[in-house]
């Protein structure tokens, strides 16, 4: 009898891999009946990842969104699933154990059936509590392997992780091929070995299209015994997202698998509604480049969803790198050359940092280190001159055990700076916090909510939740949307972006003082200076001293604080953005004059 392959529509990830925002609750409720009528899905990914934060950024209640979105699928007999990050749960930094446990209780009560849990380092210790808490809450525990391609990440390596996850009691295994760089035959071997050893464990494959392997990988893992495949629908399929269900369904059908038929009228309805949501407002935050696949991702292994932010970072660094190159008598580099240089630098940095799988947040850490290395090399400085605090946290083992060994130069650098390596269980470093947040709820006069879901949101995303409750989040989002709509309706003017400064524009300033190093905002948000900022936004030539790699200010982004780190010792000679100003990622906010005497 032909083997049946079942499909899961990863509607949440379709949006997250394309842009910043998810559809609102009212939009999700509208598209749910059409998804159900397609008749080909046994599962739908409804929440997790950035879903909660996006609702808070809207100024909307994420708990009402999850409840209303999951309800029609559960009524139709379609299981819903979420994505969570193990130690980091639904955010970018570690979460106390009691808050993690509450998350599973809340999500089960809200209608989520399956918890897909992954650790970006594949450290099984970070997944043990996720498995235990999911099952205790009555959810299906699906433990995920973060798939990548390296000398360290062999089939035997992954099977060793699977052994521990099964020991902890996971119900299912997911192959989370977030960058789509898993080689089809290797993935097939892994699935085959899992099925031989644990025939009762369902296996689900999740693969992004980015470098182009995904359809072949899906066919190979299906032949090897996989049970579920994650797919998307137009207009958000392919590109850096996921293969479209029509193509995968037909491919498997031709190969002899049993697959469900697709109601094409319903497919077109889902397609139309998804496009409507994009046209309404979501498309303003979708990078057109995400609609394209690129083989350049094969070598560097970065997730395709990072391309937009990575290019924005590179554009921001371009002026500083070119200024340093020109000062050394070298020609300026084009953006294309810098992109290739960055990909090569990622390939250099990655193994030296222990081969962390390039998935959030570790992909950002590796990319950031590679960017700083490009700037350091242009300035004639050694690689790894600047490593941010979060990357050091990864290096030192505070987020889990790295898959591979650190390069001796990184170990030596840590020892030179007096940093200590952590070998304990990462969770032990983050004590319980729910009593503190219960007290906060009482002090604010807020109800903990049905199934304590409001308490959970405060504990998981405190600042975003407070902005939601105060109304600031909705005002901020509406202002941003109004600005983008106004720009979209205005005539297109092509010009180089410059930052206004007294007496001269930035480009003239760089030409006039080629040794000056610009400081750039690491994220979008509110600028908070630590330096002595002159009232007229112009500091004297003998300005405040700053040190390379030491924060001289911060940008308060929606997810937390981002440090502004000078690339060299020097003195602030001009400030282009005042304290409290809202700045864009990559915007030049100050200049420093390099000094070797500080």
Report pLDDT digits (tens) over 375-412. 888 888 899 998 988 899 999 999 999 999 999 999 99
Q: How far apart are CA 478 and CA 127, in angstroms?
A: 38
Beta strands in 401-515 (DSSP E): none
Whether residues 59 and 83 fall in one domain? yes
Residue 188 phi/psi, 5-degree rounding, is: -65, -40
Whether residues 204 and 71 fall in one domain? yes
Whether residues 81 and 158 fall in one domain? yes
In this predicted structure, the answer to whether residue 592 has a pLDDT above a threshold of 50 is: yes
Residue 173 lies in a domain: yes
Reported as a single tens digit per residue, the pLDDT across 6-25 is 999 999 999 998 888 999 99
Whether residues 43 and 150 fall in one domain? yes
In this predicted structure, the answer to whether residue 166 has a pLDDT above a threshold of 90 is: yes
Taking only Cα atoms into account, the Rg of the chain, rounded to an integer number of angstroms, comes to 24
Whether residues 277 and 345 fall in one domain? no
Whether residues 281 and 303 fall in one domain? no
Q: How far apart are CA 205 and CA 191, in angstroms?
A: 9
In this predicted structure, the answer to whether residue 506 has a pLDDT above a threshold of 70 is: no
Laid out side by side, the sheet with 516-520 consists of 516-520, 588-594, 570-575, 545-546
In this predicted structure, the answer to whether residue 194 has a pLDDT above a threshold of 60 is: yes
Arithmetic mean of pLDDT over the chain: 89
Residue 53 tokens read as 């934060």
Please report the DSSP string for 328-373 in residue order. Answer: TTPPPPPHHHHHHHHHHHHHHHHHHTT---S-TTHHHHHHHHHHHH
Asked if 409 and 386 touch (Cβ cutoff 8 Å), the reply is no
Residue that finishes a domain, picked among 286, 319, 335 = 286
In this predicted structure, the answer to whether residue 40 has a pLDDT above a threshold of 80 is: yes
Whether residues 141 and 181 fall in one domain? yes
Whether residues 305 and 227 fall in one domain? no
CATH of the domain at 228: 3.20.20.70
User: In the block, which residue shows the tokens 């159900």?
Assistant: 36
Residue 571 lies in a domain: yes
Residue 499 lies in a domain: no
CATH of the domain at 520: 2.40.50.100
Number of domains, the chain:
3
Q: How far apart are CA 594 and CA 598, in angstroms?
A: 10
Residue 131 lies in a domain: yes
In this predicted structure, the answer to whether residue 146 has a pLDDT above a threshold of 90 is: yes
In this predicted structure, the answer to whether residue 78 has a pLDDT above a threshold of 80 is: yes
Whether residues 58 and 100 fall in one domain? yes
In this predicted structure, the answer to whether residue 223 has a pLDDT above a threshold of 50 is: yes
**% of residues, the chain, pLDDT over 70:** 91
Residue 312 lies in a domain: yes
Whether residues 396 and 309 fall in one domain? yes
Give pLDDT, residue 589. Answer: 84
Q: How far apart are CA 378 and CA 413, in angstroms?
A: 21
Residue 446 lies in a domain: no
Parent domain of 398: 299-428
> b or e along 114-127 (b: 16 or more beta carbons within 10 Å of the residue's beta carbon)?
bbbbbbbbbbbbbb
- DSSP secondary structure letter of residue 3: P
Length of the chain: 598
Residue that finishes a domain, picked among 393, 428, 463 = 428
Residue 485 lies in a domain: no
Q: How confident is the model at residue 299 (pLDDT cuts 50, 70, 90)?
A: confident
In this predicted structure, the answer to whether residue 503 has a pLDDT above a threshold of 60 is: no
Whether residues 191 and 263 fall in one domain? yes
Range with the largest mean pLDDT of 347-351, 511-515, 566-570: 347-351
Beta-bridge mates of residue 230: 8
Give pLDDT, residue 494. Answer: 33
Return the higher-pLDDT residue of 428 and 527. 428
Whether residues 331 and 279 fall in one domain? no
In this predicted structure, the answer to whether residue 492 has a pLDDT above a threshold of 80 is: no
The sign of the torsion formed by the CA atoms of 542, 548, 554, 557 equals positive
Give pLDDT, residue 424. Answer: 95
Q: How confident is the model at residue 305 (pLDDT cuts 50, 70, 90)?
A: low
In this predicted structure, the answer to whether residue 495 has a pLDDT above a threshold of 70 is: no
Residue that finishes a domain, picked among 264, 286, 308 = 286
Asked if 58 and 22 touch (Cβ cutoff 8 Å), the reply is no
Please report the DSSP string for 239-255 in residue order. Answer: TTSB-BHHHHHHHHHHT
Residue 60 lies in a domain: yes
Give pLDDT, residue 307. Answer: 61
Report pTM.
0.81
Reported as a single tens digit per residue, the pLDDT across 463-485 is 999 999 999 999 999 999 999 99
Give pLDDT, residue 542. Answer: 44
For residue 48, how far is the Cα from the chain centroid? 12
Average pLDDT over residues 134-151: 97
């Amino acid at each position: 009898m032909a083997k049946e392959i079942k499909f899961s529509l990863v509607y949440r990830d379709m949006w997250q891999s394309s842009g910043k925002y998810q559809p609102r609750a009212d939009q999700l409720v509208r598209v749910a009946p059409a998804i159900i009528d397609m008749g080909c899905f046994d599962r739908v990914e409804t929440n997790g990842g950035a879903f909660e934060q996006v609702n808070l950024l809207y100024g909307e209640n994420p708990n009402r969104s999850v409840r209303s979105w999951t309800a029609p699928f559960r009524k139709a007999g379609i299981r819903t699933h979420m994505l969570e990050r193990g130690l980091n749960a639904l955010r970018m930094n570690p979460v106390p154990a009691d808050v993690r446990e509450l998350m599973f209780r809340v999500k089960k009560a809200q209608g989520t059936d399956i918890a897909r849990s992954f650790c970006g380092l594949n450290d099984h210790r970070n997944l043990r509590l996720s498995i235990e808490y999911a099952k205790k809450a009555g959810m299906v525990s699906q433990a995920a392997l973060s798939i990548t391609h390296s000398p360290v990440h062999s089939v035997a390596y992954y099977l060793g992780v699977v052994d521990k996850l099964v020991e902890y009691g996971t119900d299912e295994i997911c192959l989370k091929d977030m960058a789509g760089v898993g080689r089809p035959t290797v993935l097939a071997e892994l699935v085959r070995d899992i099925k031989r050893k644990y025939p009762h464990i369902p296996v689900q494959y999740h693969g992004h299209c980015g470098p182009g392997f995904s359809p072949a990988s899906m066919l190979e893992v299906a032949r090897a015994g996989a049970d579920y495949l994650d797919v998307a629908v137009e207009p958000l399929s392919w590109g850096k997202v996921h293969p479209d269900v029509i193509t995968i369904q037909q491919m498997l059908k031709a190969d002899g698998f049993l697959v469900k038929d697709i109601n094409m009228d319903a497919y077109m309805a889902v397609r139309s509604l998804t496009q409507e949501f994009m046209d309404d407002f979501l498309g303003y935050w979708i990078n057109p480049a995400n609609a394209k696949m690129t083989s350049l991702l094969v070598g560097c292994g970065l997730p395709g969803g990072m391309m937009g932010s990575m290019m924005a970072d590179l554009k921001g660094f371009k002026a500083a790198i070119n200024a340093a190159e020109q000062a050394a008598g070298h020609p300026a580099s084009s953006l294309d050359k810098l992109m290739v240089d960055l990909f090569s630098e990622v390939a250099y940095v990655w193994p030296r940092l222990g081969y962390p799988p390039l998935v959030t947040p570790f992909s950002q850490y590796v990319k950031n280190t590679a960017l700083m290395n490009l700037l350091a090399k242009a300035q004639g400085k050694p690689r790894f001159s600047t490593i941010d605090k979060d990357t050091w946290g990864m290096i030192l083992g505070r987020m889990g055990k790295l898959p591979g060994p650190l390069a001796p130069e990184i170990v030596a650098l840590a020892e030179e700076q007096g940093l200590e390596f952590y070998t304990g269980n990462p969770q032990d470093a983050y004590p319980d916090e729910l009593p503190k947040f219960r007290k906060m709820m009482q002090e604010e006069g807020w109800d903990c909510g049905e199934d304590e879901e409001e308490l959970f949101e405060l504990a998981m995303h405190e600042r975003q939740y407070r902005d939601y409750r105060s109304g600031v989040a909705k005002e901020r989002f509406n202002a941003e949307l109004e600005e983008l709509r106004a720009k979209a309706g205005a005539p297109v003017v092509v010009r180089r972006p410059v930052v206004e400064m007294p007496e001269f524009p930035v480009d003239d300033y760089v030409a006039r003082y080629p040794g000056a190093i610009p400081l750039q905002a690491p994220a979008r948000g509110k600028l908070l200076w630590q330096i002595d900022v002159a009232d007229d936004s112009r500091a004297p030539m003998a300005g405040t001293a700053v040190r390379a790699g030491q924060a001289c200010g911060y940008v308060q982004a929606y997810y937390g604080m981002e440090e502004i780190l000078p690339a060299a010792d020097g003195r602030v000679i001009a400030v282009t953005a005042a304290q409290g100003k809202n700045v864009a990622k990559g915007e030049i906010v100050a200049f420093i004059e390099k000094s070797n005497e500080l």
